Structure 1
Amino acid sequence: MEQSLYLKTAISAVRAAEKIIRRYWDDGFDVRLKADESPVTEADIEAERAIRQVIQEQFPSHGFYGEEMGSIRRDAEYSWLIDPIDGTKSFIRRTPFFSTQVALMKGNQIILGVSNAPLYGEMAWAEKGHGAFMNGHPVRVGKVTTLNNAALSLGNIKTLAQGTGWQGLGKIVSGVNRTRGYGDFCHYHMLAAGQVDLVIESDLNILDVAALSVIVEEAGGVITSLDGRQLGLEAKNVLAAATPELHELAREYLRVN
């Protein structure tokens, strides 16, 4: 596909971040805790700074909402959502399950997403109306419509386990063909590529999934909050499925309101 300037810029931005991330991966880094007790490294901060610099050179009037550096011009027509290392805990533990997430929002709609997992060896991207791609090749979700044929991946289910959806989740787990917990970017990449069929995740924020939501939708999937609402800036959980039928089945079991 012919890439827009938005997409070309986003890919250039995550590539700039990748150089920084790889350097810290090879050379080592210090870890500190943020106010919410989540970890952050120099790689997170420098990577976000590099992403903003690349984007600002092309689109100086655009707004930003970043994991480490906060927000500027949030009232702009176009705003970039940035998570420089989604999966910092994996990065710290020296496992490859982390990625750089960059998404573009126009008004209240996410229209573009890039997810680059350099140590895992995958970059996925999508623009509204133009399909989803993995390492340059088109990808498409699977066609499974029933639980008994579905592969399920779970992530960050602590709050779900404490709430009213826990029994429903148990019924889903007992009804699917297989259950895994790939987590972070990985199970969304796999969903978009037809390798899993259903993803249920809680305890997250929109920066964790903004880019991934466009990729899943453009690959033909359905992605919402657990209560079926469109993902927005206040998103805290996700229900993603390969088909509308499978999504609705899961929603009926979970009944999270």
Structure 2
Amino acid sequence: MSYEPEQALAAAREAAAAAGEIIRHYWNRGVSVEWKADATPVTVADREAEQAIRALLARALPQAAIYGEEYGIEGARDGLLWLVDPLDGTKSFVRRTPFFSTQIALMDRGELVLGVSSAPIYGETMWARHGAGAWLDGERVQVAPIDAMSQASLSIGNVKSLTADARWDALGALIRDSSRIRGYGDFCHYHLLARGGLDLVIESDVNILDVAALAVIVREAGGVFTDLEGSAPSLETASVLAGTPAIHAQALARLHHESTG
């Protein structure tokens, strides 16, 4: 399917901005919380934001399918596919913590080609498309030139499942060997990685909708974004290892050695 990448990116940015207006409205007003079957929260802000995003994306690129957090998949997966999480970080949203965002990415026959990550209350929007770099509020960004673990800043998120994994000890060793450890979580540590503020992100228990846009942003900022096995992002992605090229390579080797040793 043919499409104009820059126009698709513009549509994604417009959709993220529209979602941001809805989210800000409910942030100021307050919302009641419902619980989904998987014990995760959902609000009217999630649903209305996704409805607004879907309407704008469908109008801009009618040949593309849309896969959203709240309303599932419309269309076929094997061509152009929008990946949408209208409010990633609903738990933070309902607890009045500004670490939540809107995530919109476009996948073309299995390859992620553009992404927008908008954090309306935190006050940052990042975007990227294949071959055109990564941008933060109009300024091009790049990962840091860190290549020694002793100088690296690490951030971890959703690592509860790793406590029972063979890689838990390897993660502990990475932390000991690094310069410092943080747990920024959600969109925040990927934004920091892409703009040179830290050097490695490790997460488990994620969904592709949470990280698809961020994968494009990190890649276009000069970083490497895989799962914990070293595989490229796909619809089945459930973990993340993202970092500067050198630090990612070192971390992957150490985590893989621990899991197979």
> SS where residue 58 of structure 2 aligns?
helix
Q: Is the 8 A contact 2:78 2:110 kept in 1?
A: no
Partner of 1:193: 195
> SS where residue 223 of structure 1 aligns?
strand
Whole-Å Cα distance in 2 between the matches of residues 75 and 95 of structure 1? 34
Partner of 1:250: 251
Structure 1 segments unaligned to the other structure (5+ residues) = none
Partner of 1:124: 126
Shift of 1:76: 5.3
Partner of 2:148: 146
Partner of 2:90: 88
Partner of 1:13: 15
Shift of 1:151: 0.3
> SS where residue 142 of structure 1 aligns?
coil
Partner of 2:73: 71
Shift of 1:253: 1.8
Partner of 1:211: 213
Residue 3 to residue 81, structure 1, CA distance change in 2 (3 Å): closer
Q: Is the 8 A contact 2:84 2:105 kept in 1?
A: yes
What letter is aligned with 1:65?
Y
* Residues 1:230 and 2:232 are matched in the alignment: yes
Structure 2 segments unaligned to the other structure (5+ residues) = none
Q: Pairwise CA RMSD of aligned residues?
A: 1.2
Shift of 1:74: 2.6
What letter is aligned with 1:246?
I
CA deviation digits over 1:204-233, x for unaligned, max 9? Answer: 110010000000000000010001001100
* Deviant stretches of 4+, over 2 Å: none
Shift of 1:63: 0.1
Whole-Å Cα distance in 1 between the matches of residues 88 and 255 of structure 2? 26
Whole-Å Cα distance in 2 between the matches of residues 58 and 133 of structure 1? 22
Q: Is the 8 A contact 1:65 1:74 kept in 2?
A: no
Whole-Å Cα distance in 1 between the matches of residues 71 and 79 of structure 2? 20
Equivalent residues, number: 255
Partner of 2:47: 45
What letter is aligned with 2:250?
L
Q: Is the 8 A contact 1:114 1:126 kept in 2?
A: yes
Partner of 2:30: 28
What letter is aligned with 1:55?
L
Identity among equivalent pairs (%) = 51
User: TM-score of the superposition, structure 2-length normalised?
Assistant: 0.95
Shift of 1:252: 1.9
What letter is aligned with 2:255?
L
Whole-Å Cα distance in 1 between the matches of residues 5 and 81 of structure 2? 19
What letter is aligned with 2:247?
L
> SS where residue 186 of structure 2 aligns?
coil
